[in-house]
Amino acid sequence: MQIGMTLAKHIYDTQRLHPEATGALTLILNQVSMAAKIVSREVRKAGLVDILGLTGQKNVQGEDVRKLDEFANEIFMAAFSQLGNFCIMASEEREEPVLVSDGRKSGDYTIAFDPLDGSSNIDANVSVGTIFAVHRRVSEGDEAVPEDLLQTGRALAAAGYVLYGSSTMLVMSTGHGTHAFTLDPSVGEFLECHHQITIPKRGKTYSCNEGNYPYWSEGVRHYIAYIKEADPASGRPYSSRYIGSMVADIHRTLLYGGIFMYPADTKDPKKPSGKLRLLYECSPMAFLIEQAGGVASNGTAPILDLQPTQIHERTAFFAGSPENVRELERSIAQYDM
Ligand code: AHG
Ligand code: MN
Ligand code: MN
């Protein structure tokens, strides 16, 4: 008889590729898995209990905070604080980074996370997720500093997301490919379902909030017009798919290919770079996409090379199959430069 490879075994095998590893990252990833199971349990009963609805507060970006956002944030914060090896955390739901120490000294890792992504969808029973990004600390003082969090995606030690969909799935990478695990609720384990995801070189799906079309740049509008042109020989027009939960849209893009985008727009002068956050949304997703052979770009440069200057900074984001994203970049170079 065969049983599936557990997440814990996968993490252990990856640790063994690094003889110098102390096991700290292994502990962190196991803690993500534990917190994900708790949040998954709550998401599953969201329609049953009076946990839905707005808390009446706004988060640091001025958006409505839903009760489940707050719950997920508290669970992940508590799970990470329990480990002695974190030094600083940043969450979408907290304006300022939170220092962590075990009373004696700070740990070696930082984490930035979006505890519940796509939460505006939850009342409609649409998939939501959690996104996380782990870096090694760079400063050497007793206490961590915000610069420990403000590192490029290239420097990520690990990144991933949990998708609370028709099943709960954890997709992650430590720089050795992108792998996916499904939660078997009957035994409470994440079991491997996709070893080394490879994104198709080209896909026939585009994913964006097209309601923002009039506010996009020339280059983005030309690209969208191009993929909507009929050219049966090259498979155009492409299909449109947009869930409005980044985790779910990226998950589909990783498996089926195509392009996901949240371009910069001129709709809100306070958000000139679009909506998505670099540190805990775009950078970890770009890491997973590149590890699967895809491309993630802000239109002109790889997302993983962008140096963050603020915890909650936003960036334009285009990610998916290499041929699709390169085509989009060419359109931007031709019409916007
Ligand atoms: P969050 O729920 O963490 O605020 O993120 C929502 C994000 C992302 O999941 C999605 O891709 C995007 O918002 C959708 O935005 P629009 O409604 O503007 O399309
Ligand atoms: Mn989000
Ligand atoms: Mn969120």
Q: Which amino acid is at 294?
A: G
| Residue 65, pLDDT above cutoff 90 | no
Do 233 and 328 fall within a single domain?
Answer: yes
Residue whose CA lies nearest to ligand 1 atom number 7: 118
Whether residue 184 sits in one domain with residue 216 = no
Single out the residue in 144, 172, 194 at which a domain terminates. Answer: 194
Name the closest-CA residue to atom 11, ligand 1: 246
Which of 151, 168, 194 lies at the terminal end of a domain, its last residue? 194
Shared-domain flag, residues 107 and 71? yes
Q: How far is the CA of 324 from the centre of ligand 3 (A)?
A: 27
Q: Are residues 172 and 220 in the same domain?
A: no
List, for residues 274-333, the tens digit of each pLDDT value: 999 999 999 999 999 999 999 999 999 999 999 999 999 999 999 999 999 999 999 999
What's the token pair of residue 124?
A: 């409609």
CATH code, domain carrying 246: 3.40.190.80
Q: Which two tokens stand for residue 311?
A: 């915890």
3 band by pLDDT with thresholds 50, 70 and 90? confident
d(CA 259, CA 201): 11
Task: Check if 275 has its Cβ closer than 6 Å to any atom of ligand 1.
Answer: yes
Residue 219: which domain range?
A: 205-335
Average pLDDT, integer, range 146-152: 96
Peptide bond into 237 cis (omega under 30): yes
* pLDDT, the chain, mean: 93
Same domain flag for 247 and 111: no
Q: Which ligand is nearest to the CA of 246?
A: 1
Which atom of ligand 1 is least distant from the CA of 119?
Answer: 2
Using CB atoms within 10 A of its CB, is residue 16 exposed (0-12), middle (13-18) or buried (19+)?
A: exposed
Residue 200 lies in a domain: no
Both 186 and 241 in one domain: the answer is: no
Average pLDDT for 243-261:
98
199 lies in some domain: no
Pairs from 43-48 (Cβ < 8 Å, separation ≥ 24) = 43/68, 43/122, 43/128, 43/164, 44/164, 46/122, 47/125
| Ligand 1 centroid from CA 120, angstroms | 8
The residue nearest atom 17 of ligand 1, judged by CA position, is 244
* CA 211 to ligand 1: nearest atom: 19
The CATH number of residue 25's host domain is 3.30.540.10
The string of DSSP letters for 135-160 reads EE----SSS--GGGT---GGGEEEEE
pLDDT for the residue numbered 142: 83
pLDDT at 191 > cutoff 70: yes
Do 97 and 209 lie in a common domain? no
Among protein residues, the one with the nearest Cα to ligand 1's atom 14 is 244
Domain contains 2: no
Same domain, 190 and 246: no
Tell me, yes or no, whether 223 and 170 share the same domain.
Answer: no
- How remote is the C-alpha of 280 from its chain's centroid? 6
Atom 3 in ligand 1: residue holding the nearest Cα: 117
Q: Do 173 and 81 belong together in one domain?
A: yes
- C-alpha 3 to ligand 1 mean position (Å): 37
Domain end marker among 149, 164, 194: 194
Whether 301 maps to a domain, the answer reads yes
Together in a domain, 170 and 226: no
pLDDT tens-digit series, residues 192-250 = 999 999 999 999 999 999 999 999 999 999 999 999 999 999 999 999 999 999 999 99
The count of domains in the chain is 2
Q: How far is the CA of 281 from the centre of ligand 2 (A)?
A: 6
